[in-house]
Structure 1
């Protein structure tokens, strides 16, 4: 048997095209019931996990459900867990795995399974609706907004978020404690509050919205114990913990516990 034929039948040396056979375990099932199913599938040089899932659909499992869109790491649709780690399937190259390794693909654990690799992420959209939007300054008309570049730069990093919800999935506050979901917005949306709180033109205080206090009292900022697991899985490499959550925690603590800030708020309230 030739070397190329050996490669096609097992995890032996690759043939001239660089193709080899890989062992995949993919979760199949619907809400409340399912199991891992084994597949042996061909892999070509330069492919990503999503390519292999598509090949499984085309050749062995036409009813396999998977959510995807851009295949370029910008839509956040193909989130899953690969060998237990939350990842985008389209950004996980097959070359990072040993050819003899079994690759396990499962749906995001934090959210309810709809079918196979597709989960119900409506929790995140519900949390997004709970956060008050940017409040335009009343004295400025559209087109009159002016900001210093330094202020733009502070929150620009957070706008790279593609809402893949991998940070939400890996956050142990909701991953391991379903009962926390009602009181905890999760890192993605606490980052959104931090972004708005940093915005120099956000007129939330004039509208009676205290973003620091609401982050603590309404969106569960105190649940976060800054383990940085959200930062580790972010495909856009946003420093969620260091640049958003920790500064927001510091500002919330100042507002609630700093005696000078407390006194200043009392004096200001009396003069209004």
Structure 2
């Protein structure tokens, strides 16, 4: 069963643009990316859109549908009324390259700022041992497909461009939380304090835990509850808990 749907798709580049109206055929079982491809094939062959796997695993086709950050390939047409006008726009938090394609290099720059896992000096590869509970906690965060929808919806960077230099965003604060929770990460032994870095270098304090990042995550990662809130608690303990503060002083003096 097919029907004609009304779409508004943003067309333009870094210099500006606007929404263009299209009426396009929709077939049963299709997703928004199918419709974008049909528009390319039948009406606007120069429409730019980034995509790859079409299976919700590469994170390439991130955009905004009716104002909500989504993956084009995982948004079924059946969730909309047939009479509804569907608006597709590029991610608002990042500069437009052309049409639905945005420049997400901000995210790769932030990724490079985060020091990698530090293996224990006394263990060789193959000797690492972790409890299943620790493995499960880390595995949740590793489901991230780098779609950057959480970065796009986070109002700290979405609405305030000036915050970007000081704020890593939920995706990379989650990465810091993963490393800080890792029982084998020996960053502290090298003088790297991940909790302090999260607060002072990556803008953890900017996050006010509205959970908007969790709401748009296509992998269902509980970014706020399982990563950002625990990281905030750890950072606060390190800085303000008098017993932790005293313990750190004694430890430094012993070194």
* Paired position in structure 2 for 1:244: 227
What's the TM-score, normalizing by structure 1?
0.93
Q: C-alpha deviations, 1:171-220, integer Å up to 9, x for none?
A: 00000000000000000000000000011111111111100010000000
* Paired position in structure 1 for 2:116: 133
Q: Displacement of 1:124 after TM fit? A: 0.1
SS of the residue corresponding to residue 181 of structure 1 reads helix
Q: Which moved more, 1:45-54 or 1:257-266?
A: 257-266
Alignment counterpart, residue 165 of structure 2, candidates 175, 178, 182: 182
SS of the residue corresponding to residue 267 of structure 1 reads helix
Aligned-residue RMSD, C-alpha = 0.5
Task: Supply the distance in 2 between the matched residues of 1:178 and 1:147 (Cα, whole angstroms).
Answer: 40
Alignment counterpart, residue 188 of structure 2, candidates 186, 205, 212: 205
SS of the residue corresponding to residue 162 of structure 2 reads helix
Task: Supply the distance in 2 between the matched residues of 1:137 and 1:124 (Cα, whole angstroms).
Answer: 28
* Paired position in structure 1 for 2:10: 27
Q: Displacement of 1:270 after TM fit? A: 1.1
Would you say 1:77 and 2:60 are equivalent positions? yes
Task: Supply the distance in 2 between the matched residues of 1:54 and 1:209 (Cα, whole angstroms).
Answer: 47
Task: Supply the distance in 1 between the matched residues of 2:149 and 2:215 (Cα, whole angstroms).
Answer: 10
* Paired position in structure 2 for 1:13: none
SS of the residue corresponding to residue 23 of structure 1 reads strand
Q: Displacement of 1:32 after TM fit? A: 2.6
Task: Supply the distance in 1 between the matched residues of 2:26 and 2:165 (Cα, whole angstroms).
Answer: 42
* Paired position in structure 2 for 1:66: 49
Alignment counterpart, residue 43 of structure 1, candidates 26, 39, 46: 26
Q: C-alpha deviations, 1:112-157, integer Å up to 9, x for none?
A: 0000000000000000000000011111111111111111111110
Counting matched residue pairs gives 255
Give the 4+ runs in structure 1 shifted more than 6 A: none
Task: Supply the distance in 2 between the matched residues of 1:228 and 1:150 (Cα, whole angstroms).
Answer: 24
Q: Displacement of 1:225 after TM fit? A: 0.1
Q: Which structure 1 residue ranges, 5 or more long, are not aligned?
A: 1-17
Q: Which structure 2 residue ranges, 5 or more long, are not aligned?
A: none
Q: Displacement of 1:66 after TM fit? A: 0.2
Would you say 1:112 and 2:95 are equivalent positions? yes
What's the TM-score, normalizing by structure 2?
0.99
* Paired position in structure 1 for 2:202: 219
Task: Supply the distance in 2 between the matched residues of 1:268 and 1:44 (Cα, whole angstroms).
Answer: 66
Task: Supply the distance in 2 between the matched residues of 1:114 and 1:207 (Cα, whole angstroms).
Answer: 41
Would you say 1:121 and 2:104 are equivalent positions? yes
Task: Supply the distance in 1 between the matched residues of 2:124 and 2:111 (Cα, whole angstroms).
Answer: 26
SS of the residue corresponding to residue 57 of structure 2 reads coil
Higher relative contact order (CA 8 A, sep 6+): 2
